[in-house]
């Protein structure tokens, strides 16, 4: 990611979005603790520095200063015993050798910047004295206190009223252009991604199913899972001629990922690939256009042909996903009513 760019990571609950961000931030309980935990392997580079092999101390130094995170529920992320100002000041002082007064002034400035009224007074409030939207603003202020290069927002609007959601998204985008951070927005709401992202990454079963610019992924998606997500989303800009098309079944447990393409039990297109490739061979991410990559065995021509029929507003409506019972090891078929949240994509 480049500074100033926004990446939207989408996928159903359980697809690995939050796990990925926790791995970047080094917030997993590691396997060296007595209660067991997580082993993270591979490579995560921030400014060229590998975070996976870095010591916990080094990651702690980077966390807050070079990378920061806005959590889903600010009420649980903020400490109830300390004032909002004290918590922002502490985050600033951990990374900057400044006096308490200077840090407090910085906290007031940040609260003002994120739109908290009377920041000189509210800085001494406790989290429970803030509304939900104000708490999320305070979290954003804390995350930005050290001007991070990477800001991860994990479902930053899920716990908020719909009227406040738009304000928070606007605020994150405004601050991004002011601070120049790279932003990752994790969400199951495709509307949010369409609104704010330059690039999109669709995750399924802990893997990248498709990635590309937002324009490419929304206009020319190549992965049947992306078709399913888009087909489940209500659209106001096209005439409604059909029911929403949910993806049948549920995401697999990541402890027991299906063989081959992990999406095959829910996919309606293995036959078009031919043989048992979908069941036996893990599809690699293949370039299907400039900076657009798809992990599916279907040829690009086939993907384009199918999407032409499925795209909103198209007359032809073959099923985007497998018919109920089409595959023996699939989860029970979903028989969703319009607007029902089967996929985790918000239908509102
Ligand atoms: Fe469907 Fe096969 Fe493509 Fe997987 S590889 S998404 S099962 S067509």
Gap from CA of 301 to ligand 1 centroid (Å) = 14
Rounded Cα distance, 1 and 326, in Å: 39
Whole-angstrom Cα distance, residue 62 to residue 55?
Answer: 11
Domains of the chain: 6-197 (3.40.50.300), 215-310 (no CATH)
Among 252, 269, 285, residue to substitute to test ligand 1 (most atoms within 8 Å of Cβ)? 269
**Mean predicted lDDT score pLDDT of the chain:** 83
Q: Provide the pLDDT for residue 40.
A: 82
Give the model's confidence band at 330: pLDDT under 50 very low, under 70 low, under 90 confident, else very high.
very low
How confident is the model at residue 342, as a pLDDT? 34
**pLDDT (0 to 100) of residue 314:** 63
Predicted pLDDT of residue 313? 64
Q: CB of 135 closer than 6 A to ligand 1? A: no
Place 237 in a pLDDT band, splitting at 50, 70 and 90: low
Residues in Cβ contact with 220 at an 8 Å cutoff, skipping those fewer than 6 apart:
289, 292, 304, 307
Average pLDDT over residues 286-312: 92
**pLDDT at residue number 334:** 35
Contact 271, 297 (CB under 8 A): no
Count CA atoms within 13 Å of residue 72 on its CB side: 11
pLDDT at residue 340 is higher than 80: no
Give 261 Cα–ligand 1 centroid separation in angstroms: 6
Predicted pLDDT at 346: 37
The response to whether residue 207 sits with its C-beta less than 6 Å from ligand 1 reads no
Name the maximum alpha-carbon separation found in the chain. 69
pLDDT at 323: 44
CA torsion through residues 340, 225, 217, 201, sign: positive
The 10s digit of each residue's pLDDT in 53-94 is: 999 889 989 998 899 998 888 888 899 999 999 999 998 998
**How do residues 188-208 score in pLDDT, each as one tens digit?**
888 888 888 999 999 999 999
Say if residue 335's pLDDT is above 70. no
Question: Does pLDDT of 327 surpass 90?
Answer: no
What DSSP character marks residue 1?
-
Q: Tell me how long the chain is.
A: 348
269 Cβ below 6 A of ligand 1:
yes
Helices (H), the chain: 17-25, 56-65, 74-77, 84-95, 100-113, 119-122, 132-144, 162-179, 190-196, 214-219, 224-231, 270-273, 277-280, 300-310
Please state the rounded mean pLDDT for residues 301-311.
Answer: 90
- pLDDT digits over 139-168, tens only? 888 888 888 899 999 888 876 777 778 888
Q: Is residue 59 lining ligand 1, measured as CB closer than 6 Å? A: no
> Global pTM?
0.82
Tell me the CA–centroid distance for residue 283 and ligand 1, in Å. Answer: 8
Distances (CA, A) of 246 to 223, 225, 240: 15, 11, 15
Higher pLDDT pick, 172 / 122:
122
Higher pLDDT, 276 or 255: 276
CA of 281 from ligand 1 middle (Å) equals: 10
The yes-or-no verdict on residue 180 having pLDDT over 50 is yes
Q: Which residue has the higher pLDDT, 74 or 182?
A: 182
The DSSP letter of residue 222 is -
Residue 279 alpha carbon, nearest atom of ligand 1: 7
96-123 pLDDT, tens digit each: 889 999 999 999 999 998 889 999 999 9
Radius of gyration of the chain (CA): 22
Structure tokens at 23: 């791995």
283 lines ligand 1 (CB under 6 A): yes
Residue 247 in contact with ligand 1 by CB distance below 6 A? no
């Amino acid at each position: 990611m480049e500074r100033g760019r926004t990446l939207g990571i989408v996928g159903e609950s359980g697809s690995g979005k939050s796990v990925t961000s926790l791995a970047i931030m080094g917030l997993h309980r590691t396997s060296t603790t007595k209660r067991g935990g997580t082993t993270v392997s591979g490579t995560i580079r921030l400014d060229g520095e590998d975070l996976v092999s870095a010591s916990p101390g080094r990651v702690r130094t980077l966390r807050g200063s070079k990378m920061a995170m806005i959590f889903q529920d600010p009420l649980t992320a903020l400490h109830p015993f300390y004032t909002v100002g004290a918590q922002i000041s502490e985050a600033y002082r951990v990374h900057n050798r400044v006096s308490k007064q200077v840090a407090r002034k910085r906290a007031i400035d940040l609260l003002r910047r994120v739109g908290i009224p009377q920041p000189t007074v509210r800085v001494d409030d406790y989290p429970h004295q803030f509304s939900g939207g104000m708490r999320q603003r305070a979290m954003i202020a804390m995350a930005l206190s050290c001007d991070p290069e990477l800001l991860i927002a994990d479902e930053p609007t899920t716990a908020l009223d719909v009227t406040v959601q738009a304000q928070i998204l606007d605020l994150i985008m405004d601050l991004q252009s002011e601070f120049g951070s790279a932003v990752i927005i994790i969400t199951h709401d495709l509307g949010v991604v369409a609104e704010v992202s330059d690039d999109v990454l669709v995750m399924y079963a802990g893997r990248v199913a498709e990635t590309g610019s937002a324009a490419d992924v929304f206009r020319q998606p190549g992965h049947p899972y992306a078709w399913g997500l888009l087909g489940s989303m209500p659209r106001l800009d096209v005439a409604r001629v059909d029911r929403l098309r949910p993806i049948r079944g549920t995401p697999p447990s990541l402890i027991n990922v299906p063989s081959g393409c992990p999406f095959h039990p829910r996919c309606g297109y293995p036959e078009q690939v031919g043989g048992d490739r979908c069941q036996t061979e893990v599809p690699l991410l293949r370039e299907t256009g400039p900076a657009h990559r798809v992990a599916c065995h279907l040829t690009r021509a086939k993907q384009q042909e199918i999407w032409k029929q499925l795209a909103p507003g198209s007359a032809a409506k073959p099923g985007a996903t497998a018919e109920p019972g089409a595959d023996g090891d699939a989860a029970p078929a979903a028989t969703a009513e319009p607007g029902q949240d089967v996929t985790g994509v918000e239908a509102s």
